[in-house]
A and B are shown apart, each in its own frame.
Chain A
């Protein structure tokens, strides 16, 4: 059974139909990519999944459970974490604190545990600290733990966002243009990183404009144009699809 299913999901903003009757399955353990020209509705799909918007029609089903109408924090608790197209780190918290916040839904300390600094809270925080360090090593940021997130260079901010998302122990990770604005060397490293995240058992839904990256790591690619799906399949087939070439690859990629 698919881990995530969108079933004829539509979303309109006033007169504009940003996503139109989109159906899409993400199998557990796979890397699925969502591509399409600017304004095609890709980020809106993420926002529909994580509860920023509610679908006008259709259902979002995750691990057999309907997510429509859930708030972002509930979607997170259900096992979906994400990154943002325009980076949204906690700018004036440290790199380490950012990843600690990412664990929020997995930590159990109650208010009084924190206020009284009980043994439970203290042990839990120590473990959270260790886990944050481990994740920062995983994305290669272990040397920057005490920097303000704000002060990291762009490429590192993108990786910090990924570490923060992984800290929530998601089953499904949504990555919105993780390679945007990074140089070719960083893109290769990112491709490796995404693969190793999948190898940790996390399923990935990826939005990306860089075709080499998408074609290199995706198990399946879905192509959106004006909110509608115009093609789907393995990367090689999608690449040769005339509608895709016309709508997307034709426009300069």
Chain B
């Protein structure tokens, strides 16, 4: 790691560790935790979309699978009360399994077709959760889910312990993902993204490797789901819709697909926007409305417009910085070369030997 990057991470770690002491407002801390879950989701989706190049939509479905798995195993719903810590692994595993079940029949599809099928899956899961009310509690979902306990101490609704658990999970995830990126498997993922047929000729079992990307990406979403269900003690289908999937996609596109730092930063920006800034801005508007006696402002709910905001972000990023805020060197080169090709076509571009420095 280069000097500036090391410094970036060092500062980030210090801020992250101290945040609940700097900002003691528990609503804020709760929003930071929710932001962490979005970062976790973005890291998972990045394996599938950023590394392996499979455009999967409907990723929130795997988030739902994790959350409901925990709800089933740790609530009065079925009278089971399995430990939260055990279910962190369990929820991840069940989501991974769903990833494989969805992936196995669909991964031979490419590009747009894969996007459509995964989009469909993303729609089906919340529908099932709504309608299988005998098991899922329907639109109301499942409540009274066990909250995590550690050494006899129950987390309850105090956000601080959730904050540190989330931080630990994120730190471990980043370490694992950074290792994977530079491993045999990480190279295989990227080779598939670059040229699937050539990758197969290098001895890569492309089907298994793509399935693994799906399974591991989904496992992260499942993990996030268990964390979420434990924190709120309740789940309902509304948090796992298409809009949530788009939000996660917006995070990785904004940050820079395929680059861990970028995806991390993108997740934080979108997460803060979603959990903290928009609700806060609404409150500000209400106060302003009361002050100025303008009823429209008093009633405005900016949260309603959040998806317009994400859509806007996606469009702006695509227009002005398609490689994202902190792109992987690869993606930056890719987009530059494409741009270059549009100007210098054919052989000219082929012989261009401009050196791109590697990170």
CB of A114 closer than 8 Å to a CB of B: yes
CB of A205 closer than 8 Å to a CB of B: no
Which of A50, A73, A115, A125 has a CB less than 8 Å from the CB of B180? A115
B333 — which chain A residues lie within 8 A by C-beta? 92, 148, 150-151
Assembled-state Cα–Cα distance A117/B179 (Å): 6
CB of A251 closer than 8 Å to a CB of B: no
Question: Is A115 a contact of B337 with CB atoms below 8 Å?
Answer: no
CB of A197 closer than 8 Å to a CB of B: no
Question: Is B180 a contact of A102 with CB atoms below 8 Å?
Answer: no
Question: Is A76 a contact of B201 with CB atoms below 8 Å?
Answer: yes
Using an 8 Å CB-CB cutoff, how does the interface string of A44-83 with B read, 1 for contact, 0 for none? Answer: 0000001010000000000000000001110111000110
Assembled-state Cα–Cα distance A121/B187 (Å): 13
Distance in angstroms from A133 CB to nearest chain B CB is 15
Query: Looking across the interface, which residue of chain B has its beta carbon closest to that of A81?
Result: B201
CB of B197 closer than 8 Å to a CB of A: yes
Distance in angstroms from B339 CB to nearest chain A CB is 13
Which of B179, B200, B352 has a CB less than 8 Å from the CB of A151? B352
Which of B185, B190, B203, B353 has a CB less than 8 Å from the CB of A105? B203
| Given known A-B contacts A50-B201, A150-B337, A91 and B351 have beta carbons under 8 A apart | no
| Given known A-B contacts A107-B184, A152-B353, A52 and B197 have beta carbons under 8 A apart | yes
A125 — which chain B residues lie within 8 A by C-beta? 182-184
Q: In the complex, how many residues of chain A place their beta carbon closer than 8 angstroms to a beta carbon of chain B?
A: 46
CB of B235 closer than 8 Å to a CB of A: no
Using an 8 Å CB-CB cutoff, how does the interface string of B69-99 with A read, 1 for contact, 0 for none? Answer: 0000000000000000000000000000000
Question: Is A77 a contact of B203 with CB atoms below 8 Å?
Answer: yes
Distance in angstroms from A19 CB to nearest chain B CB is 19
Which of B197, B204, B356 has a CB less than 8 Å from the CB of A147? B356
B358 — which chain A residues lie within 8 A by C-beta? 94, 146
Using an 8 Å CB-CB cutoff, how does the interface string of B192-211 with A read, 1 for contact, 0 for none? Answer: 00110111111111100000
CB of A226 closer than 8 Å to a CB of B: no
| Given known A-B contacts A73-B200, A107-B184, A90 and B190 have beta carbons under 8 A apart | yes
| Given known A-B contacts A104-B188, A154-B350, A146 and B202 have beta carbons under 8 A apart | no
CB of A116 closer than 8 Å to a CB of B: yes
Assembled-state Cα–Cα distance A116/B203 (Å): 23
Question: Is A88 a contact of B198 with CB atoms below 8 Å?
Answer: yes
Assembled-state Cα–Cα distance A92/B355 (Å): 12
Query: Looking across the interface, which residue of chain B has its beta carbon closest to that of A113?
Result: B183
Assembled-state Cα–Cα distance A121/B185 (Å): 11
Distance in angstroms from A199 CB to nearest chain B CB is 24
Question: Is B356 a contact of A168 with CB atoms below 8 Å?
Answer: no
Assembled-state Cα–Cα distance A137/B7 (Å): 36
Interface residues of B in 322-336 (CB under 8 A from A): 330-331, 333-334
Which of A107, A121, A148 has a CB less than 8 Å from the CB of B356? A148
CB of A100 closer than 8 Å to a CB of B: yes
CB of A158 closer than 8 Å to a CB of B: no
Question: Is B183 a contact of A97 with CB atoms below 8 Å?
Answer: no
B354 — which chain A residues lie within 8 A by C-beta? 151
Question: Is B199 a contact of A101 with CB atoms below 8 Å?
Answer: yes
Question: Is A102 a contact of B202 with CB atoms below 8 Å?
Answer: yes
A214 — which chain B residues lie within 8 A by C-beta? none
Which of B183, B204, B353, B357 has a CB less than 8 Å from the CB of A109? B183
CB of A111 closer than 8 Å to a CB of B: yes
Assembled-state Cα–Cα distance A105/B351 (Å): 31
Query: Looking across the interface, which residue of chain B has its beta carbon closest to that of A52?
Result: B197
CB of B186 closer than 8 Å to a CB of A: yes
Distance in angstroms from B177 CB to nearest chain A CB is 8
Query: Looking across the interface, which residue of chain B has its beta carbon closest to that of A75?
Result: B201
A92 — which chain B residues lie within 8 A by C-beta? 194, 330-331, 333-334
CB of A193 closer than 8 Å to a CB of B: no
Which of A73, A89, A104, A154 has a CB less than 8 Å from the CB of B187? A104
- Report, nearest first, the 6 A-B pairs whose CB atoms are least far apart: A105-B203, A114-B183, A90-B194, A76-B203, A72-B200, A88-B198
What are 13 A-B contacts with C-beta separation under 8 Å?
A82-B201, A84-B198, A89-B198, A90-B195, A90-B199, A91-B195, A92-B330, A109-B184, A114-B186, A125-B183, A146-B355, A150-B337, A151-B355
With A101-B188, A115-B179 known, 4 other A-B pairs at CB within 8 A are A88-B197, A91-B195, A117-B179, A121-B184
Binding site for B on A (CB under 8 A): 50, 52, 71-73, 75-77, 81-82, 84, 88-94, 97, 100-102, 104-107, 109, 111, 113-117, 121, 124-125, 146-148, 150-154, 164, 168
